[in-house]
């Protein structure tokens, strides 16, 4: 059974676009924002390790401070909500322990019963040959969460703009992320489009199906 029609799904995905100009006066209702947070939280990650965090920047002064480090993009200050997606800089046995405790508690099982799974996950984490490789893997997981959030926003009729046009090192500095063992990679501005954002009317430009899908 479908919970949404194919037509409604594609309709919303066509409706969404990378919003360039937000209406600064319109705020996302709290219940809607809570649902968007849950959507990002429910994103899948390899081994369920969730090697990331999402920083919700509510302080207006901080958002002002981030804008010059974001190609001066207006979404940083004008959108209703602003989220910074950051990878964890330490992915080690302590983090594996943490996720195992979460899993044992969520499923109401003894931690010991997870030992075979934990062995596999620990082995995987120990298997990285460099910090760079670990970082790259963590970044891939983080982008998944961003994708889920963007899709969820579209389905709830909330506008969004993913922003990679940021200076991650400056974001870390302004938000004090290093002390939290986090490193910013991209941001997502959320809210409602300004009536005069001409980008909203631009036709979707996507590769033809034949360029993207390979049926074997
Ligand atoms: C990871 C990522 C980073 C992006 N960074 C920016 C950005 O910094 N500023 C911006 O205006 N759009 C940004 N975009 C939006 C893309 O340019 C846009 O998604 C693409 O051109 C397709 O257009 P559409 O999303 O409006 O359909 C980004 C998109 C992604 C997925």
pLDDT at 215: 96
Distance 157 CA to ligand 1 centre (A): 18
If you take atom 29 of ligand 1, which residue's CA is the nearest one? 162
pLDDT at 117: 96
User: Which residues touch 98 (CB under 8 Å, ≥6 apart)?
Assistant: none
What is the chain's mean pLDDT, rounded? 97
Q: What is the 3-state secondary structure (H, E, C) of 108-145?
A: CCCHHHHHHHHHHHHHHHHCCCCHHHHHHHHHHHHHHH
The answer to whether 170 touches 63, Cβ cutoff 8 Å, is: no
pLDDT at 6: 97
Please give the chain's pLDDT, 216 residues, in tens.
789 999 999 999 999 999 999 999 999 999 999 999 999 999 999 999 999 999 999 999 999 999 999 999 999 999 999 999 999 999 999 999 999 999 999 999 999 999 999 999 999 999 999 999 999 999 999 999 999 999 999 999 999 999 999 999 999 999 999 999 999 999 999 999 999 999 999 999 999 999 999 999
pLDDT at 143: 98
The answer to whether 40 touches 54, Cβ cutoff 8 Å, is: yes
User: Which residues touch 191 (CB under 8 Å, ≥6 apart)?
Assistant: 19, 22, 23, 26, 27, 28, 78, 79, 80, 81, 158, 159
> Which ligand 1 atom minimizes the distance to the CA of 70?
8
Q: How is the chain split into domains, by residue range? A: 20-90+131-197
Q: What is the architecture, at CATH level 2, of domain 20-90+131-197?
A: 3-Layer(aba) Sandwich (3.40)
Ligand 1 close to Cβ of residue 33 (< 6 A): no
pLDDT at 125: 98
If you take atom 24 of ligand 1, which residue's CA is the nearest one? 17
pLDDT at 2: 81
> Token pair for residue 163?
């922003």
Ligand 1 pocket, mutate which of 17, 18, 187 (most atoms under 8 A from CB): 18
Ligand 1 close to Cβ of residue 197 (< 6 A): no
> Which ligand 1 atom minimizes the distance to the CA of 199?
26
β-sheet bridge partners, residue 19: none
**Cβ count near 175 (within 10 Å):** 20
pLDDT at 91: 96
Ligand 1 pocket, mutate which of 13, 76, 163 (most atoms under 8 A from CB): 163
Show the CA angle centred on residue 53, arms to residues 74 and 96, nearest 5°. Answer: 165
Distance 89 CA to ligand 1 centre (A): 25
């Amino acid at each position: 059974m479908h919970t949404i029609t194919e037509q409604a799904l594609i309709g919303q995905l066509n409706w969404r676009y990378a919003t360039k100009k937000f209406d600064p006066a319109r705020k996302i209702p709290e219940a809607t924002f809570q649902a968007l947070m849950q959507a990002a939280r429910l994103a899948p990650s390899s081994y369920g390790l969730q090697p990331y965090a999402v920083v919700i920047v509510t302080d207006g002064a901080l958002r002002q401070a981030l804008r010059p480090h974001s190609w001066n993009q207006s979404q940083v200050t004008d959108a209703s909500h602003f989220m910074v997606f950051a990878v964890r800089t330490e992915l080690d046995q302590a983090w594996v322990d943490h996720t195992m405790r979460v899993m044992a508690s969520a499923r109401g099982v003894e931690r010991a019963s997870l030992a075979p799974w934990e062995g596999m996950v620990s082995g995987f984490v120990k298997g990285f040959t460099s910090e760079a490789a670990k970082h790259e893997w963590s970044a891939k997981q983080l982008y998944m969460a961003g994708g889920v959030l963007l899709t969820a926003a579209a389905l709830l009729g909330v506008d969004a703009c993913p922003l990679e046009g940021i200076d991650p090192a400056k974001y870390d500095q302004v938000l004090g992320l290093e002390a939290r063992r986090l490193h910013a990679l991209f941001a997502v501005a959320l809210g409602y489009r300004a009536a005069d954002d001409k980008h909203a009317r631009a036709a979707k430009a996507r590769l033809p199906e034949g360029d993207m899908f390979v049926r074997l």
